[in-house]
Amino acid sequence: MSLPNILTYGRIAAIPVVVGCIYAQSILDQPLWLRWVAVAIFIAAAVTDYLDGYYARIWNQQSAFGRMLDPIADKLLVASCLLMLAADGIIHGWSLWAAIVILCREILVSGLREYLAALRVSVPVTKLAKWKTTVQLVAIGFLLAGPAGDEVVPVVTMIGLALLWASAILTIYTGYDYFRAGIHHLIKEDEG
């Protein structure tokens, strides 16, 4: 029950609240202010993604459980938000392909990491992958604001969609990078 793990639990606990706010606003046609609540909670959850790792390192509280749970929490947050934004219609048409690329990469990398972990091979997170996550989280924040944000600045949704495509491009590159690093071990395992 270290602070880094508590922050990760908080990120997971934020998911149903964010999803519930978007569902209530979009599907149940409730007031737009619910989107701002979703954005505020999402931002707090996204900040914990940075803080849990930071505190784990500086306080030397890194744990196997934390290393396992942190990326799962990230993927749950991103996937649930992308699915709600697609159901909401904010992500639609060609932009669905960006969301599909992001989700497929997350599944591919998770499977690869799980397989390599069984071989006791670690695949470290690259700086570019961290930037990809940052762009992805910022894009989702803009998209969660959606129509509420467009009332304040009419291009909020368009900025979110552009950032979603940028993160999808980074996602392809970093996914290939992970796959290329992992394929070496897969081939070696087959030859051995």
The residue among 98, 74, 86, 85 whose CA lies nearest residue 39 is 85
Question: Domain total for the chain?
Answer: 1
- Give me the percent of the chain exceeding a pLDDT of 70: 98
In this predicted structure, what is the pLDDT of residue 192? Answer: 61
Instruction: Please count the other Cβ atoms lying within 10 Å of the Cβ belonging to residue 192.
Output: 5
Mind listing the pLDDT tens digit for each residue in 139-185?
999 999 999 999 999 999 999 999 999 999 999 998 888 888 777 77
CA distance 96 to 189: 36
User: Where in the sequence is the domain holding 46, given as residue range(s)?
Assistant: 3-191
Can you tell me the mean pLDDT for 126-133? 88
Whole-angstrom distance, CA of residue 54 vs CA of residue 48 = 9
What is the pLDDT, as a whole number, of residue 54?
A: 80
As a whole number, the mean pLDDT across the chain is 89
| Residue 71 φ/ψ, nearest 5 degrees | -65, -30
Ranges of H-type helices in 95-192: 95-118, 127-152, 156-191
Residue 121 is part of a domain; what is its CATH number? 1.20.120.1760
